[in-house]
Amino acid sequence: MILIAVISLGAIGAIGAVFLYAASKKFEVYEDPRIAEVQEALPGANCGGCGYPGCGGFAAACVKADSLEGLLCPVGGAETMGKVASILGMEAATAEPMVAVVRCNGTCQARPRTNQYDGVKSCAIASSLYGGETNCTFGCLGYGDCESACTFDAIHVNLTTGLPEVDEDKCTSCGACVKACPKNIIELRKKGPKSRRIFVSCVNKDKGAAARKACANACIGCGKCVKECPFEAITLENNVAYIDYRKCRLCRKCVAVCPTGAIHELNFPPRKEASPAVDADKVKPVTPKAAPALKAEAPTKVEVTPATAPETITKEETTQK
């Protein structure tokens, strides 16, 4: 009986093994070995800034793609993409570096509090409950969800201003802070030459008077910047201006005409102060001095000696004779 049981179990196992082998071959999923090589070349941050679920998903997308155009690892940058291109035998796509910018200038002084929030210190939770502690319902809540989401320690909330500040040297443009902000005030923009950027630091869509009442630094939708820009890089929509970094030539003309200072310029040299204008009515004309008159020299007296004097006969002497 024991022998029959052993033979039966062995036969069942053999038949099951044959079926499993056939099924594995039938439903085999082939994985390109280059995916592992590309994933090893990536920094392994798994931040999702590339638009794919982790470095494994990005590696698979690179291997399957016909070219690397539009594919970029924001953490590794051009150096990492060069390694990926060499593994795949492709040309590395060039992409301009990006950086996160905070489009809110509502400091504690410019945007005073009108109420106090005593709930969980989370921007996501607070935004789902009400507009915020100020009259501006579009601005930053200041509870630091962006700071918690950043794995590179590149963004922190300034306790004095109540606004997040980005360390551009640490920012990898992964986009984690952008996704974490419920107010959509953080944006990835082109880093720009010499890290110079110009952007409208406001997202308030209220009309001018209401926006200015809620925040002294708000964009009031006056449109002066739109008229001043010679490159048509600024648009005005829903009472707030927006600068397209792809068209902006960093001329800074819009910054000078903004009445509320809502347009920010970063990493530019200080402007040259214009020389004060001269009032022509107050300038006295300079009268040229007359040249001093030359003194006439006195005639030189010449003494005539008898020896040298000519012999002259006066009329009186002739009469006497």
Query: 3-class DSSP state for residue 99?
Result: strand
> Which residue, of 78, 95, 112, is where some domain finishes?
95
Residues 44 and 142 in one domain: no
| Domain end among 95, 122, 142 | 95
Q: What is the CATH number of the domain that holds 88?
A: 1.10.15.40
Q: Which residues are annotated as a binding site?
A: 47, 50, 55, 73, 136, 140, 146, 150, 171, 174, 177, 181
Same-domain check for residues 86 and 187? no
In the chain, how many domains are there?
2
Mean pLDDT over residues 105-128, rounded?
Answer: 92
Tokens 């590339």 sit on residue: 50
Mean pLDDT of the chain: 84
Same-domain pairing of 36 and 162: no
Residues 74 and 102 in one domain: no
Per the CB < 8 A criterion, the answer to whether 248 and 198 are in contact is yes
* pLDDT tens-digit map of 21-63: 888 777 766 677 888 999 899 988 888 778 788 898 889 989 8
Same-domain status, 88 and 144: no
Say how many CA atoms lie within 13 Å of 170 toward its Cβ: 11
Residues 149, 70, single domain; the answer is no
Average pLDDT over residues 67-93: 85
User: Which element (helix H / strand E) includes 264?
Assistant: strand 263-266
Instruction: Indicate if 151 and 189 belong to the same structural domain.
Output: yes
pTM passes above 0.85? no
- Residue range 297-311, pLDDT digits in tens: 555 544 444 444 444
CATH number at residue 142: 3.30.70.20
Any domain includes 200: yes
pLDDT confidence of residue 305: 46
Q: Which residues contact 183 (CB under 8 A, 6 or more apart)?
A: 104, 123, 127, 138, 139, 140, 141, 203
Which pair of structure tokens corresponds to residue 281? 């009515």
- Whether residues 83 and 106 fall in one domain: no
Task: Tell me if 88 is assigned to some domain.
Answer: yes
Identify whether 153 is part of a domain. yes
Tokens of 241: 């201006």
Residue 7 lies in a domain: no
Query: Which of the residue ranges 18-32, 132-146, 173-187, 219-233 would you say has the lowest mean pLDDT?
Result: 18-32
Report the alpha-carbon distance of residue 168 to residue 144 in Å, rounded.
Answer: 18
8-12, 219-223, 241-245: segment of lowest average pLDDT = 8-12
CA gap 301, 284 in Å, rounded: 50
Q: Which residues are part of a known binding site for [4Fe-4S] cluster? A: 47, 50, 55, 73, 136, 140, 146, 150, 171, 174, 177, 181
Name the DSSP letter for residue 199.
Answer: E
In this predicted structure, the answer to whether residue 90 has a pLDDT above a threshold of 90 is: no
d(CA 251, CA 320): 110
Burial of 172 (0-12, 13-18, 19+ CB in 10 A): buried
Which range marks the domain in which residue 74 is found?
31-95
152 and 46 in one domain? no
Judge whether 258 and 212 are in contact, CB under 8 Å: no
Our CA dihedral for 256, 258, 262, 263, rounded to 10 degrees, sits at: -40
pLDDT value at residue 207: 93
User: What's the mean pLDDT in 201-211?
Assistant: 94
Query: Are 36 and 84 found together in one domain?
Result: yes
Within-domain flag for 301: no
- Kindly state the helix (H) or strand (E) to which residue 61 belongs, with its residue range: helix 54-64
- CB 234, CB 242: distance < 8 Å: yes
User: Six-digit token pair at 277?
Assistant: 């204008």
Query: Above 60 in pLDDT, residue 251?
Result: yes
